[in-house]
Structure 1
Amino acid sequence: MNFEFADRVTRVEPSATIAISNLSAELEADGVDVVDLSVGEPDFPTPANIVEAGKDAMDAGHTGYAPSNGIPALKEAIVDKFESDGLDYGTDEIIVTPGGKQALYEIFQTLIDDGDEVVLLDPAWVSYEAMTKLAGGSISRVDTSGHGFQLEPVLDDFAEAVSDETELAVINSPNNPTGAVYSDAALEGVRDLAVDHDFAVISDEIYKEITYGVSPTSLGTLDGMGDRTITLNGFSKAYSMTGWRLGYFGAPSDLVSQAGKLHSHSVTCATNFVQHAGVEALRNTDDAITEMRDAFHERRDMLVDLFADHGKEVAVPEGAFYMMLPVPEDDQSWCEGAIEDAHVATVPGSAFGTPGFARLSYAASEERLREGVERLAEEGYL
């Protein structure tokens, strides 16, 4: 049979980050020692107290369906977390999802119709574009690469990109893939334009707990943004819970009501015992977060110095655990060569909408990071 595939599926390509990670895994399966700096996954185990909470929840019988939008204890913990960030959400304004990516998918599917405009800041995490296309939306892009990946210097460009036809903008701070943390002035500029043109904004704050010497502002705390901001977060990055698949978002209740229909007809609910582990993560894991954040900070500083030793200047990330390394314009070829010749896996910047860079994840030990830089230098990639 010759299947006729839906247009929404043929509009998108597979995830570039996952593709590189798969290639790395294939080489390793063949016995090649690959320094994998491509994947956005902390190299720390899930903190022991969270693991124990998950086990205890299973032992207590929390292995059946959960309330679709989330168990009450977790929604209450999320409300408290949001409150600590200056955000005012009630438990009826929360949906708990199997991963932050599912949360984003539900938001895009709920808000975007065919032809609706979505504004992205480049470089942008790869799935924003795919999710826009799956929903039938069109994309307007704003390039930050010429300004240290900061938003404030390109607010005029952002103003040109948005209009009364704009339905949604996505602000990701701290940012993947750049590690940039946007200033209050930048966020206020977004607020002014969102109010003027009456569009909604996703504030993707999945890396909010991983910052270095700065305190990122939640967009929804700004005057005029409470009823037009969807605040997204999750457990994969700060709590090293990538495989647990747990995320959440807060939004005005009318949006939650509509998104909840999609949620109930697709995933039904996030895994019951995992949600109980999420309560423990939010309530009792600050020390573990600090330990991981301090390690990422040290690795960042080490990488900046190592690249400087090789004459490579990089924009210093203020958050997350990624760094954008300037490479030749054909970054795809550079990354393919780097993994084939130096056995170092990175992700081409063009996958994020910004050619001429490679994204490196420093969610790896200092020893492996040093080895990766040495291999790239020895093979002529620096």
Structure 2
Amino acid sequence: MSLKQLAPDQFAELAQRTRAQYEELKARNLNLDLTRGKPSSEQLDFSNALLSLPGTGDYTDNTGADVRNYGNLAGIADIRELWAEALGIDPAHLIAGDSSSLNIMFDLISYAYIWGTNDSPKPWKDEEKVKWICPVPGYDRHFSITEHFGFEMVQVPMTPQGPDMDAVEELVKDPQIKGMWTVPIYGNPTGISFAPEVVDKLAAMDTAAEDFRIVWDNAYAIHTLTDAQADNPDVIALADKHGHPNRFWYMSSSSKITHAGSGVAFFASSKDNLAWYTSHASIRGIGPNKENQLAHARLLGDVQGLHDLMQKHASSLAPKFDAVIAILRERLGAYDVAEWTEPKGGYFISLDVTDGSATRVWELAKEAGIALTKAGASFPHGVDETDTNIRLAPSLPPLEEVRTAMDGVATCVLLACVEATENNAG
């Protein structure tokens, strides 16, 4: 039954009970954190062998090159071939870098802004205006990059199949639209994976800007919470088939697979795009940390070793996600005050509450000692016009803390919605 459909006496009883629960919650003096999708200590321990690799006495990659020395901007073949096989792409289209794919994304935007892409008529800094498509809710750090460069961020809603393609196909008729953010598999924060027809449309659509780029941030491609892997299309080959070979800037990373502070980031794209990128990256630096790349290659061994490691992660993460969803269903399901995603992979759950209530939920949780990502964080400039969305990140705390935190969050959601109903009635 919807909260609004309760009889006056039922509503009054619920309001009184919820306020009492909230006072009990505050009295516990909690200090819990569901703000960011960090691996837990248990997950980091899965890859502690990395700290003693590549080992002593053999510092050569499979070409015989000494990884301790300068050079090889593209990264060593050992890790590139393993990762390309895992992603289902041609290793000739893949570069292995240092730990952060965000660094590469920032560099790509920087290079395009200063010098233009290999398809640009002029540098983006010389354009009258640069606009960028931002599916929402989306990844806050993506939006921070385009905000930093002063791009106009144009929102399109996410659907259960991916971004609203009617909106996207209309927007790309504007030559000022230069690009688009995406997290195509187990997205941040929704956990949604793009449907095949959406992927095909993104690869095939005509755009007014000849230098239009899609940042294909495939950070969670193999981050399953189940025994099954998500379908992961080779968008580089798909775009080439549709006559748009340079469309995708494809990102991947091991940072939430091994050690988050010292992973390996990957950039895949067309050979022309890679040549353009390396023409600038080769001036910026001499080469990546190839010792770390070799250590990763030896830790994982092969693609099966990678998937075996991901099953360990799933065994740690899945119970936490199950707990979040079970508590949301039990505490909120009967009142029609919230909706949430139930992802099969990735690191996040997206929670939508009654319009105008998300900020109040965040405030109530903060007062009760539960840190949530700020309401609106998954929108450009941190502004959710409807004030409905909160990103939940249950990966870092131990399972019992996740349960405690989410029971508290459910109380905060109920109280915020009770207050909103009372205010509307008044």
Q: Would you call these one fold, judging by a TM-score over 0.5?
A: yes
Shifted more, 219-228 versus 313-322: the winner is: 219-228
Aligned residues: 342
Q: Deviations over 1:350-370 (max 9, x none)?
A: 111143111111213321211
Which of 333, 355, 358 is equivalent to 1:331?
358
Please show how residues 12-51 of structure 1 align to structure 2 within 5 Å. Answer: 33-43=30-40, 44-46=42-44, 48=46, 50-51=47-48
Letter paired with 2:193? V
- The alpha carbon displacement at 1:334 in A equals 2.8
Structure 2 residue matching 1:249: 3-state secondary structure = strand
Q: Contact between 2:99 and 2:255, CA under 8 Å: does it hold in 1? A: no
Cα 1:267/1:371, change in 2 over 3 Å: farther
Distance between the aligned counterparts of 1:318 and 1:160, measured in 2?
A: 31
Structure 2 residue matching 1:57: 3-state secondary structure = coil
Distance between the aligned counterparts of 1:37 and 1:259, measured in 2?
A: 36
Q: TM-score, normalised by structure 2?
A: 0.71
Which of 167, 171, 174 is equivalent to 1:161?
171
2:323 counterpart residue number: 302
Q: If you compute each CA radius of gyration, which structure gives the higher value, 1 or 2?
A: 2
1:116 counterpart residue number: 130
1:16 counterpart residue number: none
Q: Deviations over 1:41-68 (max 9, x none)?
A: 11134355x4434423374596955425
Q: Does 1:371 align with 2:404?
A: yes
Structure 1 residue matching 2:178: 3-state secondary structure = strand
2:25 counterpart residue number: none
Please show how residues 100-115 of structure 1 align to structure 2 within 5 Å. Answer: 100-112=101-113, 113-114=124-125, 115=129
Distance between the aligned counterparts of 2:90 and 2:339, measured in 1?
A: 41
Structure 1 residue matching 2:134: 3-state secondary structure = strand
Distance between the aligned counterparts of 2:364 and 2:287, measured in 1?
A: 42
- The alpha carbon displacement at 1:226 in A equals 4.6
Q: Deviations over 1:61-86 (max 9, x none)?
A: 9695542524424xx43234324433
Q: Contact between 1:179 and 1:318, CA under 8 Å: does it hold in 2? A: yes
Distance between the aligned counterparts of 2:399 and 2:53, measured in 1?
A: 34
Please show how residues 259-338 of structure 1 align to structure 2 within 5 Å. Answer: 259-266=277-284, 268-282=286-300, 283=302, 284-311=305-332, 312-327=338-353, 329=356, 331-338=358-365
Q: Does 1:217 align with 2:232?
A: yes
Distance between the aligned counterparts of 2:193 and 2:99, measured in 1?
A: 26
Structure 1 residue matching 2:345: 3-state secondary structure = coil
Q: Contact between 1:68 and 1:263, CA under 8 Å: does it hold in 2? A: no
Which of 89, 92, 108 is equivalent to 1:90?
92
1:202 counterpart residue number: 215
2:390 counterpart residue number: 358
Structure 1 regions of 5+ residues with no counterpart?
Answer: 1-31
Distance between the aligned counterparts of 2:299 and 2:267, measured in 1?
A: 16
Letter paired with 2:371? A
Q: Does 1:190 align with 2:202?
A: yes
- The alpha carbon displacement at 1:320 in A equals 0.6
Q: Does 1:170 align with 2:185?
A: no
Please show how residues 56-67 of structure 1 align to structure 2 within 5 Å. Answer: 56-57=53-54, 59-60=56-57, 66-67=70-71
Shifted more, 96-105 versus 214-223: the winner is: 214-223
Shifted more, 54-63 versus 175-184: the winner is: 54-63
Letter paired with 1:124? G
Distance between the aligned counterparts of 1:247 and 1:377, measured in 2?
A: 37
Structure 2 residue matching 1:274: 3-state secondary structure = helix
Structure 2 regions of 5+ residues with no counterpart?
Answer: 1-28, 60-66, 114-123, 333-337, 418-426
Cα 1:340/1:67, change in 2 over 3 Å: farther
Aligned-residue sequence identity (percent) comes to 16
1:125 counterpart residue number: 139
- The alpha carbon displacement at 1:125 in A equals 0.8
Distance between the aligned counterparts of 1:372 and 1:315, measured in 2?
A: 18
Q: Deviations over 1:222-268 (max 9, x none)?
A: 2335542221100112x142111431111223332333354345465
Structure 2 residue matching 1:324: 3-state secondary structure = strand
Q: TM-score, normalised by structure 1?
A: 0.78
Cα 1:39/1:89, change in 2 over 3 Å: same
Which of 45, 49, 53 is equivalent to 1:52?
49
Q: Contact between 1:122 and 1:143, CA under 8 Å: does it hold in 2? A: yes
1:28 counterpart residue number: none
